[in-house]
C-alpha cells in the first residue's frame, strides 16, 4: 500500500505541472476575451488542491492510509480525464 500511495501521489504532482500554470494563466487573463476560461477554473483549482493530499501521502505518517489512497486515486482519475480532455481539444 505504501508504494502504491507514493506512485499515485507522484502522478498527481506530475499532472499538476499542467494545471498549476493553467490556473495562473486563467486568473491572469481574467478568463480570456469573453470570460469562458473561467468555466475551466473550478476544474483546475480542484486538481490543484489534490497537491495537498498528495504531499500528505508522501509523508511517513500518512503513507499507509487506505482512505487517502482511495481519495488520491479518484482524484488522479478525475485529473487524468480532464488532462486528456484539455490536451485533445482544438483551441
pLDDT band with cut points at 50, 70 and 90 for residue 16: very high
Q: What is the pLDDT of residue 15?
A: 96
For residues 90 and 26, the model is more confident at 26
State which residues form the domain around 9. Answer: 2-88
Domain count, the chain: 1
Measured distance CA(56)–CA(36) in Å, rounded: 33
Distance from the first to the final alpha carbon of the chain: 40
Measured distance CA(19)–CA(22) in Å, rounded: 5
pLDDT band with cut points at 50, 70 and 90 for residue 91: low
Measured distance CA(49)–CA(83) in Å, rounded: 15
Look up residue 49 and give its three cell numbers. 488542491
Measured distance CA(16)–CA(3) in Å, rounded: 20
Amino acid at each position: 500500500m505504501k508504494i502504491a500511495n507514493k506512485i499515485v501521489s507522484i502522478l498527481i504532482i506530475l499532472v499538476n505541472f499542467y494545471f498549476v500554470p493553467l490556473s495562473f494563466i486563467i486568473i491572469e487573463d481574467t478568463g480570456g476575451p469573453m470570460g469562458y476560461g473561467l468555466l475551466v477554473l473550478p476544474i483546475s483549482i480542484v486538481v490543484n488542491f489534490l497537491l495537498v493530499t498528495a504531499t500528505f501521502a508522501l509523508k511517513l505518517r500518512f503513507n499507509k492510509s487506505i482512505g487517502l489512497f482511495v481519495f488520491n486515486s479518484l482524484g488522479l482519475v478525475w485529473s487524468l480525464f480532464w488532462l486528456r480532455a484539455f490536451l485533445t481539444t482544438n483551441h
